[in-house]
Amino acid sequence: MSGGNGIAIDVKGLSKSFGGREVVHDLSMQVKRGSIYGFLGPNGSGKTTTIRILCGLLTPDSGEGTCLGYDILRDAEKIKRQVGYMTQRFSLYQDLSVRENLEFVARLYGLRDARGAARDMIKRIGLSGREEQLAGELSGGWKQRLALGACTLPNPQLLLLDEPTAGVDPKARRDFWNEIHALAADGLTVLVSTHYMDEAERCHEIAYIAYGHLLAHGTVDEVIAKSALTTYTVTGEDLNSLTAQLTGKPGIDMVAPFGTSLHVSGRDVAALESSIAPWREKASLHWQKSAPSLEDVFIELMGRSKDNFQ
Amino acid sequence: MSAVDRPAPAHEIRERFGFWWRSYAMLIKEFIQLKRDRVSFAMIVMLPVMQLLLFGYAINTTPHNLPSAVLLQEDSDLARSILKALENTAYFRFIYEVHDVDDFDNLLKSGKVLFGVEIPRGFERAVRRGDKPALLVAADATDPVAASAALGSLGMVVQTALQHDLYIGDPPAMPFEIRAHARYNPAAVSSLNIVPGLVGTILTMTMLIFTALSVTREVERGTMESLLSMPIKPVEVMFGKIIPYVLVGFVQAFLIISIGVFLFGVPVLGNLFLLALLSTLFITANLAIGYTISTVVQNQLQAMQMSMMFFLPSILLSGFMFPFAGMPAWAQYVGEGLPLTHYIRIVRAIMLKGATMQNLRFDTLALAALMLIAMTIAVTRFRRTLD
């Protein structure tokens, strides 16, 4: 396959505006074949737009690149044959049954035995016994499985999943991710957008995008390391007033409550430590230096990007 | 090469005839959806039946029991005979008998009667003398169709009555003057003219709306996003969406013509096969136009409105309601651009006159041209991206 140097997605300088508002700004990214690439960022950050550009649903205003070795601007039709796209909102036919939806997809992609392919997929996604149920009547978790089944049915090289687990219960979420890992083990490349940190940690690589800008990317460990964030975890009494007192102090970029503890983080270690010094000695508080979690890093990135772009 | 090779797919992919298979996939899907949509499905049958019965029976332009008044200035046997004869036709129902001109005028002006007959003083004597006196007739012409048809039937009815009931000199000569005659449509059966026109009108309405909603529905339900991400081409989407409704249109045309033939006694003098063939062409042309509308509009409401915008001129300018030749030149030009105009000519000619393909070449070509234009616009307008 052309461009088969182990890179599934390779795009440079993608930009896209809607009505004068730039939704994606100069975005470049590379995704290795057979890897699971997590796409993170706040709502409205341009994740969906980027995914749509990759599968040819939107034309970028500028930028270039390849997807599975095909030019994203010229070969949209070829890309479509090799890519399975699972939309954020359920977009199969609600008034068609599970079987009819899958057979429709199988026929569109030209599978010789559409009925057989649909039957096999129903078994694989565990929807046996619900073949004749209308898709619109399925629960959220089943809908999501059906949607995944439909986009993997034509045996694609690349899966683009746009917030596939939104509104799905934890058990279904775990099953879903096990399936994604099984597919990736078969050589499928998966680009998945999500809001969940536990899901981000199950990705081989992640990218953080906010307000159209790609702010960080790499493995989870790399992203955490690159953030150069120092975090203290505080436990003790009256954390609420402590939050108020610490917020905005020099060197303190973020104060975030986590259950019964408080995460206090900053990039400038010296400034951070001098700012918290007055509270370090208090007997009612217990301070501990800890590695920042991915969530700390993202919340900090999100806060920073707001300063820059809003 | 790639880091990891994907295993061979479990199911083989067809490389050839992709166009037909993808259109077929779309078609099957549309059929299933239509089948599930019970209301739409019922409308396919209900709409033509209801419209036909309404137009055929209720909206009958042949006058029936028209409320009428008589201004009787002479109480003679001849006058009584004429009134009796008029009432016997069931066209007129004399609900007022007045002897004063002002009362007579007021009845017409107020709309209490649509029709008035004035028998002047000395009428009978004048007839017997052979003076050809005028039987004065006043009609409320605000409904020109009803008035003119009633006026048209009047002369004949009166003459018949006189021949049977009167003992005057030489019956063949009209003993008095009434100008209107319904010479070319003696029975004045409007269903004969309306049923063929209705085939076209009903098909225009239903076909237009079915496809006008089809693409916008996909956009509104969010399924368009999936559909666009799959390898299907605009032409294939269009074919898949049009073909099921060709069958639907066929069922409707069959229903209307059957009812017309069996209930209203409309003849089919021409070739049924030719009628079916040209009806298919007309149905497809309308579906293509509806589909074009659906690629232009943003939502289903707009689709409905735009369909109406196309439907109204179709009804008014196609010759369905008003005689085509009577319209001003610009209206005729507009009319020529509407498929219904050509189809109404075709269907009336085949059913009522027994026309052949030879007679209908121009209208057939016009229909085909309109269909191709609509399809071309639809395919070029169809957005392949969400931009």
DSSP letters for B342-387: HHHHHHHIIIII---GGGGHHHHHHHHHHHHHHHHHHHHHS-SS--
Nearest to B208 by CA among B294, B277, B266: B294
- Helix locations, chain B, DSSP H: 18-36, 38-53, 77-88, 101-109, 123-129, 144-165, 190-221, 223-229, 234-264, 272-296, 300-317, 329-336, 339-348, 361-381
How large is the angle between the packed helices B234-264 and B18-36, nearest 10 degrees? 50
Q: Measure the CA–CA gap between A55 and A40, rounded to whole angstroms.
A: 18
- Maximal CA-CA distance, chain B: 116
Predicted confidence band of residue A66 (pLDDT cuts 50, 70, 90): very high
- Is A108 touching B (CB cutoff 8 A)? yes
The mean pLDDT value of chain A amounts to 89
Please name the residue that has the structure tokens 């934890």: A170
Q: Nearest C-alpha of chain B: how many angstroms from A142?
A: 17
Q: Torsion angle, CA of B341/B345/B350/B351, rounded to 10 degrees?
A: 80
Predicted confidence band of residue A63 (pLDDT cuts 50, 70, 90): very high
* Cβ–Cβ gap B26/A108 under 8 Å: yes
Please name the residue that has the structure tokens 């399924």: B223
**What pLDDT does residue B4 have?**
46
**What pLDDT does residue A96 have?**
95
* Cβ–Cβ gap B32/A83 under 8 Å: no
- Is A52 touching B (CB cutoff 8 A)? yes
Poorest-confidence range of B77-81, B171-175, B260-264, B271-275?
B171-175
**Residues of B whose CB is below 8 A from A17:** none
* Cβ–Cβ gap A90/B36 under 8 Å: no
pLDDT digits (tens, 9 = 90+) for A102-128: 999 999 999 989 999 999 999 999 999
Helix (H) or strand (E) holding A10: strand A7-18
ipTM of this predicted structure: 0.84
**What pLDDT does residue B3 have?**
42
Considering only the beta carbons, identify the residue of B13, B28, B387 that sits closest to A109. Answer: B13
Buried residues in A203-231 as b, exposed as e (16+ CB within 10 A)? bbbbbbbbbbbbbbbeebeebbeebebbb
Give me the mean pLDDT over the B224-236 stretch: 90
Helix (H) or strand (E) holding A147: helix A140-152
Asked if pLDDT for residue A264 goes beyond 70, the answer is: yes
A-B Cβ pairs (cutoff 8 Å, strict): 126
Asked if pLDDT for residue B291 goes beyond 60, the answer is: yes
- Is B172 touching A (CB cutoff 8 A)? no
* Cβ–Cβ gap A110/B222 under 8 Å: no
Q: Which of B29, B35, B41 is the best substitution to test chain A (most A C-beta atoms within 10 A)? A: B29
Listing from the earlier edge strand, what are the strands of the sheet with B115-119?
B92-98, B66-72, B115-119, B136-139
**Residues of B whose CB is below 8 A from A93:** 29, 33, 223
Q: Measure the CA–CA gap between B159 and A74, rounded to whole angstroms.
A: 82
Considering only the beta carbons, identify the residue of B12, B33, B224 that sits closest to A95. Answer: B33
What is the pTM for the complete model shown?
A: 0.78
Question: Exposed, middle or buried by CB within 10 Å (0-12, 13-18, 19+), for B6?
Answer: middle
Whether B239 contacts B23, CB under 8 Å:
yes
- Is B36 touching A (CB cutoff 8 A)? yes
Q: Torsion angle, CA of A153/A159/A161/A165, rounded to 10 degrees?
A: 60
Whether A60 contacts A15, CB under 8 Å:
yes
Those of residues 208-247 in B touching chain A at CB distance below 8 A are 221-226, 228-232
Those of residues 126-155 in A touching chain B at CB distance below 8 A are 134, 150, 154-155
pLDDT digits (tens, 9 = 90+) for B167-188: 554 554 556 665 333 322 334 4
- Is A161 touching B (CB cutoff 8 A)? no
